[in-house]
Structure formats: C-alpha cells, structure tokens
Amino acid sequence: MLPYFELRAAIAIAFTAAATYYDLANNKNVPAILLYAFVAIGVLFNLATLSGEPVYAFAIPLAVFAMGFLFYRSGLFGSADAYTFTAISLLIPYANKQSYSLGTPYPFILSVITATTFLFGIAMLAKFIPYIVNRIKTGGLKLSNERKLSTALMAIALVLLVYTISRIPFLAGGQLVLMAFVIVMVLFFTLFRDEVMGSFVDEIAISRVENEDVLAIERMNQETVKKFKLQPYVDEAVMKRLQESGLATVPVYTKLPAFEPYILIGLAITLVIGDVFFFLAGL
C-alpha cells in the first residue's frame, strides 16, 4: 500500500486542476511557481515515506521528466505538461497491487499517460474528421498517390499486427477494440498530418515571437533553417538567430490545444478505475 495514498491523490488532483485552469484561462501560461511546488511536494513525500524504494520514488520520475523535456524541446508539448507528468509520478509512484492484480507495483504514471493519450486522440479525431471530410467534399484537399500508397501499406502492417496480437488467448475483446482505435488514430494522423498540423499555424511578425513559442520549421525555407540553425522551440539563442535572419514573419504554432485538461481527466479516470488497458481485461 502506498503511504498516504488518499492525500497524495488529493494533492495531485488539486495541482493538476490548478494547472488546467491556467492552461485554459491564461493563454497556456502556467505559473512556474505552481509547477515547482507540485514537484517539490512529491519529492518531499517520497523522501519522508519511500526512501527505501528509490526506483519508484525517484528513478521513474526522473525518466518521465527526461522524456517530457525532450518532447518539450521538440515542440510536441509545453513545459507545464512535462512538469505535471513528473509531479504526478512523484506523488503517486505506483498503483496498489490489488488494483491491477499484478505481483509487483505498476508505475502509476504509465496508466495516466495511456488514459491521457487516448482521450486526446478521441478529441482530435472528433475535431478533425469533420474538418477533413468537408475539405475533401469542397475540393480543397486532394491526396497524392504517394500518400495513399504509404498509408495503405501502413494499414496492412497494423492490421496484421493486431491480428497477430488477437491470437494471444488472455486478451479481452475490449482491449482489441482499444487497439483498433489506435490503428484508426495512427492512420488518420499519418494520412492528414500536414492538414492537421497546418491548422495550428499562424504566420506572425518576428517582433511578436516570444520565448517558448514553437516554430513550424517544416514550413520554412530549409536553407534558412539550416543556415541559422533554427529549432522548433524558441529560446533566447533561437530568438537571436531569428532576428539575425532578416525574416519579416515566421510560421508559429499559435493554436495548439491545451493539454493539461486531458492530463487532469486521465488522472481522474486512472484513480477511479485503474489502468484503462487492464480495466478492459477485467484485471
């Protein structure tokens, strides 16, 4: 049993809810002090109660932060998301053994990431399927034969993979449905990646670019990108290079969806039912 589980869960929910509020109401700017406090409380809890379990208490959260930092620097999500995932993994290092019927504690953060990812995928499909269908109907979108072929080959490979996995006797029907959903999601965002990502981009003046903005460098002249060593994540160094480049405007991801709400809902679901994948298996 994780010491002070109920208190840890309440703190995790409270801080993630606060981060969600700022993500939605403050133009995705979550106060750094809130995030630092969230992480610090998790560290203190583990120093006081889990000093004998360094892997769960510190090694896994450190790995989560490292991965989140890489995603952040790549522009895949914000720094607040990396800190929130790290803080949750610190506050709730593992789920109770009884929750998943496993012989060893299961890293709780993996369950939260699974739930969050599926929720985000569902939301993005609900938003973009009508958008893409409408563009195809109005003739505003035409697919190249190369894109059609590559997606068809990927579809065949993924279907074969799921068929092979479905032969594993202990997998439940709900888990196969979940895998089928993953296939649909991967295929859709592979086929329409440019259209989906392009809908998040605005061309803005260099003077309006701020630290922690994300450049859509794939939409820029690649010779310029290479010459000035531009990267998606804008920091002081990249800002200086942009000013030296002589460019008047640059494409920036200004319309990326807030991610903290999905983390909050994913956290709540995982606290109530446990890991989604295991829940569908009846474990």
Query: Does residue 225 sit in the same domain as residue 263?
Result: no
Average pLDDT over residues 245-270: 94
Predicted confidence band at 282 (pLDDT cuts at 50, 70, 90)? low
Q: What span, in angstroms and rounded, lies between the C-alpha atoms of 29 and 117?
A: 21
Query: Does residue 112 sit in the same domain as residue 14?
Result: yes
- pLDDT reported for residue 28: 83
Q: How far is CA 43 from each of CA 54, 78, 191, 230, rounded to the nearest angstrom? A: 11, 22, 42, 35
Q: What span, in angstroms and rounded, lies between the C-alpha atoms of 50 and 57?
A: 6
pLDDT digits (tens, 9 = 90+) for 99-145: 555 556 788 999 999 899 999 999 999 999 898 888 878 877 777 78
Asked if the structure places residue 20 within a domain, the reply is yes
- pLDDT reported for residue 264: 97
pLDDT digits (tens, 9 = 90+) for 27-41: 888 999 999 999 999
Q: Domain range for residue 205?
A: 201-253
Asked if the structure places residue 179 within a domain, the reply is no
- pLDDT reported for residue 98: 46
Q: For the chain, how many structural domains are there in total?
A: 2
Q: What percent of the chain has pLDDT over 70?
A: 91
- pLDDT reported for residue 178: 75
pLDDT digits (tens, 9 = 90+) for 55-93: 888 999 999 999 999 888 877 788 899 999 999 999 999
> How many C-beta neighbours within 10 Å does residue 18 have?
18
Q: Answer with the residue of higher pLDDT: 262 or 157.
A: 262
Query: Does residue 103 sit in the same domain as residue 63?
Result: yes
Q: What span, in angstroms and rounded, lies between the C-alpha atoms of 183 and 154?
A: 9
